[in-house]
Amino acid sequence: MLKTLCLAGALLAVGSGCGALGGGSCTDLYAFGLSVTVVRASTGASDCGATVTISDGAYRETLMPIQGMLPDGGLSCAFEGAGERAGTYTIDAKSGSSEKTMEDIVVTRNACHVVERSVTIDL
């Protein structure tokens, strides 16, 4: 009887999804796999006007900036994408005549969500 209960409990835990055996549970959070900050090399300031595109095989996404305020009153921004999508990405950033490509940026996944990778690109 005890073996049957243990087996039933283990099957229920496996079937109920992430975190069941570890005591935690998944959230409804929609996690981004990439957070890209573009910085002007000449000034060190965030470049919210840059164009940032990510790709992984046939998948391609143009990221939109999410702006925020710095404690000193300055503007900061991050380009977020690859929502709930693990993969190996190429990031292309362009601003004016400056352009930079970063390759082989790996986004992994845990039991519930992707694990965000933060990347800074100096243009």
Shared domain for 93 and 39, answered yes or no, is yes
- Is residue 10 located within the same domain as residue 60? no
Q: What is the CATH number of the domain that holds 59?
A: 2.60.40.1120
- SS3 (DSSP) at 7: helix
User: What number of H helices and E strands is found in the chain?
Assistant: 1, 8
- Does this model's pTM top 0.85? My answer is no
Q: Are 105 and 90 in contact (CB under 8 A)?
A: yes
Based on the fold, state whether residues 3 and 61 are members of the same structural domain.
no
If asked whether residues 67 and 102 sit together in one domain, one would say yes
Number of domains in the chain: 2
Looking at residue 110, what is its pLDDT? 97
Do 60 and 94 lie in one domain? The reply is yes
The upper half-sphere exposure of residue 91, i.e. CA atoms within 13 Å in the direction of its Cβ, equals 27
Beta strands in 40-97 (DSSP E): 51-56, 59-69, 75-83, 87-95
Residues 20 and 73 both lie in one domain: no
Same structural domain, 21 and 38: no
Rounded CA-CA distance 108/97 in Å is 32
Residue at 76: amino acid letter: S
Q: Do 103 and 70 have their domain in common? A: yes
Q: For residue 9, give its domain range.
A: 1-26
Element (H, E) at 5: helix 2-15
Do 45 and 79 have their domain in common? yes
Q: 91 and 51 in one domain?
A: yes
At residue 76, the pLDDT reads 85
Looking at residue 64, what is its pLDDT?
A: 94
Do residue 61 and residue 115 come from a single domain? yes
Give the model's pLDDT for residue 100: 98
SS3 13: helix
Q: Biggest alpha carbon distance in the chain?
A: 72
Report the candidate in 17, 55, 57 with the shortest Cα–Cα distance to residue 33.
55
pLDDT for the residue 69: 86
- What's the pLDDT score for residue 91? 98
Tens digits of pLDDT across the chain (123 residues): 434 333 334 333 444 444 444 557 999 999 999 999 999 999 988 999 999 999 999 999 999 999 988 888 877 899 999 999 999 999 999 999 999 999 999 999 999 999 999 999 999
